[in-house]
Structure 1
C-alpha cells in the first residue's frame, strides 16, 4: 500500500474537498483524484461519495480512516527510528559496571536531552562490525589490538586510562598492604575467569603477564562478578584485578580489600570507536564531552601494552 495515497486519503477526509486537499499537499486536484482512485482499487471499495459540498466518506471510508491514521503514525515512527538526530544515540560498552558505564552516565547527566540506547557486545570484532553496519554509533573498547588494525573507515580516540587495583579477601597475605608493587605480585595466583581468548582484554592481560612474569588464571566457569567476589572473599590464595572505576557492591562480611598497584601502575586503556562518516549529531557531542573530561592519559609511572599508541 502506497503511503502517499494513504496520506492523501486522510487529508481529503479531514478537509472534505479534493481541491483543498490538493492545496495542502501541494499537488494538483487531478493527482488527488488519481491517488484516491488507486487506493479504492487496492481496497476494492468506495471511500468517498461526491456531493455538492465536496467529498463525504462512505461507510467503508469511515471504517478505514482510523486505520489509515495508524498507518501514517507507524510510518513516521519507523523513519524517526533510523534518522540521525531523531533516533537515540546507540552506544556499546563491555560491561554495565565498568568505567565506560561511568563515562556514559556522566555524558547523560551533562546532556539529559540526548536519548541513549546502551548495549553490551562481547568482543571488539562484533563491535566493529556493528559500527560499520550502522547497528551502533559508537563503542568503548581498548584498541588497537596487536596485529589487528582497525578498518580504515573506523576512527578511535583514547578517553581514559583506568588504574588497575588488586582485590583480595581479608585472609590474603597481601590484604593489609597499603600498596603493592608489580614485582611483589609475582608468584601470587590472580584469578580472572571469563577472560576470553580473542578479546581485547585477553590481549591486555597476556601482555601484562609477559612483561612482569605474573600468574593469571582464567580457568573455571564464569558465573559473573558476584560469584567472583564470593570466591575471592573466602579463598586466601586467590586475588584478582579490578579497575579503579569499576563499581561493585559486596556483603560487609566479605571484608574485601582494594589495594593500589605501583612501580609501575598498570592502566587499562579505554577508547571510543566510531565510523568516520556517521552523521548522528549527538555523536559529535559525545566526542566533545569525552575530550573535555579525559584525564590521566599517559601519566608518568603507569604501564600499558606497547600496542596502545600514545595519546
Structure 2
C-alpha cells in the first residue's frame, strides 16, 4: 500500500477539504485528488463524499481511518529506525484549528529555521505512548486528569492557561451580556457533541459543570464545527464553550457571540509533554520558548479543576 496515498487520505480527513489538505501537504489539489483516487481503486471503495462545504469520509472511509493511522505510525517507526542524520521536530496537537497550533506557529515565527512536523493524534493514550516510544517528540495535553496519567519517564510543564468564552446565537438570553459569571449558567444546557468519554477535555468540562450547576450535553453525532455553528446560531437555548484563542470564522448572518466568563474565569490547563532523554536539539528550543512565555498561574480569579497539574515545575511520571 502506498504510504503517500494513505497519508494524503488522512490529511483530507483532518482538513475536511482537498484544497486545505493540499496546503498542509505542500502539493497541488490535483495531486491530492489523484492520490485519493488511486487509493480508492486499490481498496475498491469510495472514501469520501464531496460537496460545496468540503469532503466527508464515507462509512468505508470512517472504518479505514484508524487502520490508516496505525499503518502510518508503523511506517514512520520503520523509517525512523534507520533514518540517519537530522529530522523535523515532530509535535502533536489535538487539532490544527485550536490555540495550540497557534503556539507552534508563534514558535515557528521566532525560530523559522527549525523544521516542524505537526501531527494530530486524537487519542490521548496514543499520544502519550508515542512520546514514550519516541515516535513523536512532544504533545500538548491536560495532564493528571482522572483519565490521563503520564507514563514512566515522561515529563510535563504548563505552557498555556486558556480562558473560556461562552458561545451563543443572537437570540440566546446571554447574547448581549458583556461578560457572565459561571454560576449564572446553573440550570443551563451547554451543547458539546465533541465531548468523548475518556478524554481529558471531557474530564475538565464534567468537573466544571459539577462546580457551577450546569449540564454538558454531548448528545448527537459530532458533524464538525460548521454544523455546531449553524445549530448554535439558530437556537435560543443552546450554547457551547470555546477557548479564548481558538480562531473561528462564521457566516455574517449567524451573528454569533463570544462572551467572556469572569469571577472566576475558567481556564483550560495546556501542558507540553516530552521525554527528558529525547536528544532532538530543537526540543530544548521549543521547551525554552514555551515555558519562558508562560506567565505562571495566578492564585486568584480563575477556576481550574481539582486535578490540575501544579505549575511550579515539571512532573515526572511514576516509575515502575
TM-score by length of 1: 0.72
> Counterpart of 1:242?
242
Quote how far apart the aligned CAs of 1:123 are: 2.4
Give the structure with higher Rg (CA): 1
> Counterpart of 1:68?
none
Quote how far apart the aligned CAs of 1:214 are: 1.2
Q: Is the 8 A contact 1:161 1:298 kept in 2?
A: no
> Counterpart of 2:220?
220
Instruction: Give the whole-Å Cα distance in 2 for the aligned partners of 1:126 and 1:147.
Output: 13
Instruction: Give the whole-Å Cα distance in 2 for the aligned partners of 1:81 and 1:111.
Output: 27
Q: Is the 8 A contact 1:81 1:87 kept in 2?
A: no
Unaligned stretches of 5+ residues in structure 2: 1-78, 312-320
Quote how far apart the aligned CAs of 1:82 are: 4.0
Instruction: Give the whole-Å Cα distance in 2 for the aligned partners of 1:244 and 1:204.
Output: 16
Number of equivalenced pairs: 233
> Counterpart of 1:278?
278
Compared CA separation, residues 92 and 148, structure 1 to 2 (3 A) = closer
Instruction: Give the whole-Å Cα distance in 2 for the aligned partners of 1:143 and 1:82.
Output: 31
Mapping of 1:1-311 within 5 angstroms? Answer: 82-83=83-84, 86-146=86-146, 148-295=148-295, 297-298=297-298, 300-311=300-311
Quote how far apart the aligned CAs of 1:299 are: 5.1
Quote how far apart the aligned CAs of 1:149 are: 3.0
Q: Is the 8 A contact 1:298 1:310 kept in 2?
A: no
Instruction: Give the whole-Å Cα distance in 2 for the aligned partners of 1:162 and 1:130.
Output: 25
Quote how far apart the aligned CAs of 1:179 are: 0.6
Quote how far apart the aligned CAs of 1:104 are: 0.5
String of CA shifts for 1:196-232, please: whole Å, max 9, x gaps: 0010001101111121111110010001111111110
State the SS of the aligned residue for 1:161: strand
Quote how far apart the aligned CAs of 1:295 are: 2.8
Q: Is the 8 A contact 2:169 2:233 kept in 1?
A: yes
Instruction: Give the whole-Å Cα distance in 2 for the aligned partners of 1:224 and 1:147.
Output: 24
String of CA shifts for 1:163-198, please: whole Å, max 9, x gaps: 000000001011000111111111222100011001
Compared CA separation, residues 83 and 287, structure 1 to 2 (3 A) = farther
Instruction: Give the whole-Å Cα distance in 2 for the aligned partners of 1:235 and 1:83.
Output: 56
Unaligned stretches of 5+ residues in structure 1: 1-77
Compared CA separation, residues 203 and 174, structure 1 to 2 (3 A) = same
String of CA shifts for 1:41-86, please: whole Å, max 9, x gaps: xxxxxxxxxxxxxxxxxxxxxxxxxxxxxxxxxxxxx6798456x1
State the SS of the aligned residue for 1:216: strand
Compared CA separation, residues 225 and 139, structure 1 to 2 (3 A) = same
Quote how far apart the aligned CAs of 1:309 are: 2.3
State the SS of the aligned residue for 1:207: helix
Quote how far apart the aligned CAs of 1:151 are: 1.7
Instruction: Give the whole-Å Cα distance in 2 for the aligned partners of 1:159 and 1:283.
Output: 14
Quote how far apart the aligned CAs of 1:96 are: 1.0
String of CA shifts for 1:137-162, please: whole Å, max 9, x gaps: 00011111126531221000000000
> Counterpart of 2:34?
none
